A and B are shown apart, each in its own frame.
Chain A
Amino acid sequence: MTTRSDWLAEHPPAAKRLTATLAGVARRAREGEDFRYAVREFIDEFGLRPDDRSRAEAISDPPPPTGDPRYDAYLGALAEHLAVVHDLKRPGWSLEPDRFLDRFWFVSEVPGFRAVSIAQAPAAFRRRGVFIPERSLHRV
């Protein structure tokens, strides 16, 4: 079965059409859009970026504060995680103090998922106090 993801991999959009950035996710959240929806769209598009230069552009600009410290930390974690996975330079902004939480945040509100979230969260998320399994970041 050919999936949409397969088709897009074989027919990637023009580089100039890939404009989603982590800074853009923060701006969308600050303007009232659903944070998770904006993150999903970012991850979808990030997967289409053809090379390291393009991938670095998507995470390099510092996202403005969203108004929610959890989201600010999440974006720092996602930047570091993507940098590690793709062997890119970790953006300096992702290490600033406001990218780390003082209290743990379990992204799922279901108590039964806390153990799996601790065990399976990528290191970049765990060290910022954000707990979500790595596979939950996958898009298909």
Chain B
Amino acid sequence: MKGFLAGHDPEATPVLDLPGLRCLAASPRALLALKVLAHRVGEDEGDVRLLAAALGLDSADQVLAVAEETFGDQIDAAARFFIEEIFNSE
């Protein structure tokens, strides 16, 4: 997933800040967008549910909107199907 990092994450949290070295933890919104982009069956369902709950999102449309904010039209039909089926199964 780290191969898809999309750049600036305004909600990232500093976890280490030393002279010459600053590490940031990606925000839940950024992680959720990455999980939607990856949409691996049997791998990413639990993380999508966890991150959506943390963000107070309870529908496929809301989750897809977060992903599209970051990745736009990279969110393809397979990714939409993945998210819609997760929420349909609940």
Contact = CB atoms under 8 A, between A and B. Distances in A.
Interface of A: 3-6, 36, 40, 106-113, 116-117, 132-133, 135-136, 138, 140
A107 B5 CA distance: 26
Contacts of A132: 41-42
A4 B41 contact: no
B43 A4 contact: no
Given A3-B2, A110-B41, A112-B85, 20 more contacts: A4-B3, A5-B2, A6-B3, A36-B43, A40-B43, A106-B42, A108-B42, A108-B45, A109-B89, A110-B85, A112-B88, A112-B89, A117-B41, A132-B41, A135-B40, A136-B40, A136-B41, A138-B40, A140-B2, A140-B4
B18 to A, nearest CB: 20
A95 B45 CA distance: 30
A64 B7 CA distance: 42
Contacts of B1: 140
User: Dominant SS at the A interface?
Assistant: helix
A107 B78 CA distance: 18
B86 interface: yes
A110 to B, nearest CB: 5
A133 B3 contact: no
Interface in B4-58: 4-5, 38, 40-43, 45
Contacts of A112: 81, 85, 88-89
Contact of A133 (B4, B5, B42, B88): B42
